[in-house]
Amino acid sequence: MKKDSKIYVAGHNGMVGSAIVRELKKQGYNNLILRTHKELDLTRQDAVEKFFELEKPEYVFLAAAKVGGIGANSVALADFMYDNMILEMNVIHTAWKNNCKKLEFLGSSCIYPRMANQPIKEEYLLTGELEKTNEAYALAKISGLKYCEFLNRQYGTDYISVMPTNLYGPNDNYHMEHSHVLPALIRRFHEAKINKLDSVTCWGDGSPLREFLYVDDLAELCVFLMNNYSGNETVNAGTGKEITIKDLTKLVAKIVGFEGEIRWDTTKPNGTPRKLLDVSKATKLGWKYNIELEDGIRLAYEDFLNNPMRAER
């Protein structure tokens, strides 16, 4: 990308999209095209076609998606599949029709088989059954990355994809039903502190292992890949480090300043015991994350405190 290339960041108000915009601006890219969801509904084919014909972006970061936690994902299966599939096909197809030079598609680590060997390598894609709770979302994401691959193979495009682990950071979603584990813990401990509760009860026994990447580190990788990577295989994005949910709750409680008891409701499910991405491909390409988990959670909590409306998103 040149500093004045026309770059469209789809989903720029979301956590990932806004981090990509921050990173692009930091690196001096000065010709960004942005549309809110209200201004351009990416599930509307006619609107997407008009937008691409008018703006002709040279590069596209596709960070718009209908996103949710385990609750929303497992209930609204049809909506998650339809909205994401339509949105992806519209944007990727129309970008190609309008000669977009390069597109980067954002997926998620839930595309990998639920019983995949750990750490999960990119090549494990489609080697086993998906996790049922987010099957619809995963299938839509797999279709998006495969469509990029098929365009490359059939028409010689240069469209790539990146699969991040659990993300957190500025602009995260703290909604009670739609948030992921880390922002949900930040909100729960914060509210418990404010309401002077004696204890907070978390689901399961705290034993599962999870990996977390600060979203600004992902954004740096996304810009790096746009400039330095071409290929049909996706690229994992993570830290390669894991933490038990129990230790994570203790860390979040410490940072938020909740001093009560943390209890575990072992009648509730734990989820997958371990989920760690193999990030050696991104590392070999020359990227490494910068922000350690404790520092990142402090930054995320600061952002949460400065933006009380986040909890209502």
Structure tokens at 308: 């009380």
- Cα torsion 148, 111, 124, 222 to 10°: value is 60
Q: Which residue, 159, 164, 108, is CA-closest to 135?
A: 108
**H-state helical runs in 27-108:** 45-55, 70-75, 77-97
Q: Is residue 180 close enough to count as binding ligand NAP by CB under 6 A?
A: yes
Residue 296 Cβ vs ligand NAP, minimum distance, rounded to whole Å:
12
Q: Is residue 63 close enough to count as binding ligand NAP by CB under 6 A?
A: yes
C-alpha to C-alpha distance for 27 and 29, rounded to whole angstroms? 6
Q: Is residue 167 close enough to count as binding ligand NAP by CB under 6 A?
A: yes
Q: Is residue 64 close enough to count as binding ligand NAP by CB under 6 A?
A: yes
| The Cα angle at residue 284 between residues 18 and 154, in degrees rounded to 5 | 75
Q: Is residue 11 close enough to count as binding ligand NAP by CB under 6 A?
A: yes
Q: Which residue, 147, 170, 172, 175, is CA-closest to 160?
A: 147
- Options 59, 112, 137, 159, the catalytic residue: 137
Q: Is residue 183 close enough to count as binding ligand NAP by CB under 6 A?
A: no
- From 14-22, 121-129, 189-197, 255-263, span contacting ligand NAP (CB under 6 A): 14-22
C-alpha to C-alpha distance for 3 and 260, rounded to whole angstroms? 50
DSSP state of 121: P
| Number of residues near ligand NAP (by CB under 6 A) | 23
16 or 253: CB nearest ligand NAP: 16
64 or 255: CB nearest ligand NAP: 64
Q: Is residue 186 close enough to count as binding ligand NAP by CB under 6 A?
A: no
What is the footprint of ligand NAP within residues 36-55 (CB under 6 A)? Answer: 37, 41-43
Please say whether the beta carbons of 131 and 148 come within 8 A.
no
Q: Is residue 162 close enough to count as binding ligand NAP by CB under 6 A?
A: no
Q: Is residue 240 close enough to count as binding ligand NAP by CB under 6 A?
A: no
Please say whether the beta carbons of 20 and 169 come within 8 A.
no
Q: Determine if the peptide bond prior to 119 is cis (ω within 30°).
A: yes
- From 12-20, 112-120, 128-136, 302-310, span contacting ligand NAP (CB under 6 A): 12-20
Q: Categorise residue 72: left if φ over 0, alpha if ψ from -120 to 50, beta otherwise.
A: alpha
Q: Is residue 121 close enough to count as binding ligand NAP by CB under 6 A?
A: no
Residue 194 Cβ vs ligand NAP, minimum distance, rounded to whole Å:
24
Q: Is residue 303 close enough to count as binding ligand NAP by CB under 6 A?
A: no
Residue 137 bears catalytic tag: yes
Residue 4 Cβ vs ligand NAP, minimum distance, rounded to whole Å:
25
In the chain, how long is the greatest CA-to-CA distance? 61
- From 9-17, 153-161, 270-278, 291-299, span contacting ligand NAP (CB under 6 A): 9-17
- Judging by DSSP bridges, how do beta strands 235-237 and 199-203 pair with one another? unpaired
Residue 111 Cβ vs ligand NAP, minimum distance, rounded to whole Å:
9
Q: Is residue 238 close enough to count as binding ligand NAP by CB under 6 A?
A: no
C-alpha to C-alpha distance for 21 and 157, rounded to whole angstroms? 24
C-alpha to C-alpha distance for 184 and 313, rounded to whole angstroms? 13
Q: Is residue 170 close enough to count as binding ligand NAP by CB under 6 A?
A: no
Residue 62 Cβ vs ligand NAP, minimum distance, rounded to whole Å:
8
Structure tokens at 57: 């972006």
Q: Note the residues at the interface with ligand NAP (CB under 6 A).
A: 11, 13-17, 37, 41-43, 63-67, 87, 106, 108, 164, 166-167, 173, 180
Which sequence positions are flagged as catalytic? 137
